[in-house]
Amino acid sequence: MKRLLVIGIGAGNPDYITMQAVKALNRVDVFFLMDKGQSKDKLIDLRREICERYITDRTYRFAEAHSPERERGDVDYNVSVDDLNRAKQQTFERLINDELSDGQCGGFLVWGDPALYDSTIRILQAILASGRCAFEFEVIPGITSVQALAAQHKVPLNTIGRSIEITTGRRLAAGQVSDTDSLVVMLDAEDSYHQVADQETEIYWGAYLGTPDEILIHGKLNDVADEIERVRKAARVEHGWIMDTYLLRKP
Ligand SMILES: C[S@@+](CC[C@H](N)C(=O)[O-])C[C@H]1O[C@@H](n2cnc3c(N)ncnc32)[C@H](O)[C@@H]1O
C-alpha cells in the first residue's frame, strides 16, 4: 500500500516545524512540490530548506508539478474554485500513480496547517472516494499564519469568553461576517478592511509573517488603513504578490 503524509510546515519560519513534523519528514521517500510560478519560488525554496535542515540519514527525492491556477476575472468564484480543485485532483492522481511505488511514502508539505484554507485533505479524500488510487494518509498539523500573526503582535485572538471568526477578504467585502468583536481575515486581494463600518476598529496586520520580509502594522483603521494599502501596493511590486493576514478588533 502507498502511504501519504500531509505535513503542516508552519507559515513561514522554518523554526515553526513541530517535532511530529520532523519525524514525518524523515519517513518520506518522495516529496511532491507544487510549483506556483516564479514569484512564489521562495515558497518552494523554503520547503527544500526544511528538508535539508531536518532530514537526517535518509535519501529522498522531489517530484515537481505545475500547480493549476484559478481562472480569474469575469467568472463565477465557486465554479472557478471547483474547476481548480478538479485540475489539482488530476495532478495529484498523476503524482501518486507515476512517482510513488507500492510500499513507498509520499509527502505533501503544506504551508501553515493543512486544515486551514488548504485543499490538500479535501482533494485526497475525493481521490479515495473516486476509487482511482489506493493509499492511506495521515495529517500532521502545523502552525498557521493566524497563530503567527497573534504571536508577532503579542495579542490574544479572542477577548475574554468571546468567539473569533476566521474568514476571507471576499466575505468581509461582501458584508458576510458575523457581529463578533474579533475577526481574522485571510486571502484578501482587495483591501477589504476599507469596508469596515466602524473605522475606530483596531487592525493587527501582518505580511510575510515569520519570514525575513515580515511587516507588521497595528492601529485604528482610521489611522493606519491608508498606510496598509500603500505598503501592500509596494510589497506587490517588490515581491510580485502579497501574503498577509489581519485581526480586526471592534472597540
Ligand atoms: C491558501 S491560505 C493558506 C493558509 C495556511 N494553510 C495557514 O495555515 O496559514 C493563504 C493565505 O494565508 C495567509 N498567510 C499564509 N501565510 C502567511 C504569512 N506567512 N503571513 C501572512 N499571511 C499568511 C494569507 O492570508 C494568505 O492569503
Q: What is the DSSP string of 16-45?
A: G--HHHHHHHTT-SEEEEEE--GGGHHHHH
Would the pLDDT of 104 be above 90?
Answer: yes
Tell which residue, 55, 39, 247, 18, has the closest CA to residue 154.
247
Which atom of ligand 1 is nearest to 210's Cα?
19
34 lines ligand 1 (CB under 6 A): no
Output the CA angle 149-9-132, nearest 5 degrees. 125
Q: How many residues does the chain have?
A: 251
pLDDT at 42: 80
Residue 73 CA to ligand 1 centre (angstroms): 22
pLDDT at 39: 63
Task: Give me the chain's average pLDDT, please.
Answer: 94
144 lines ligand 1 (CB under 6 A): yes
Q: How far apart are CA 76 and CA 90, in angstroms?
A: 22
221 lines ligand 1 (CB under 6 A): no
Higher pLDDT, 203 or 70: 203
Query: What is the grid cell recorded at 109?
Result: 508539505
Which residues lie below 8 Å from residue 163, measured CB to CB, with a gap of 6+?
Answer: 180, 182
**pTM for the complete prediction?**
0.94
In a 10 Å sphere around its CB, with 0-12 CB exposed, 13-18 middle and 19+ buried, how is residue 102 labelled?
Answer: exposed
Q: Quote the longest CA-to-CA distance of the chain.
A: 58
Give the model confidence (pLDDT) of 47-98 as tens digits.
Answer: 999 999 999 989 999 999 888 887 777 788 888 888 888 899 999 999 999 9
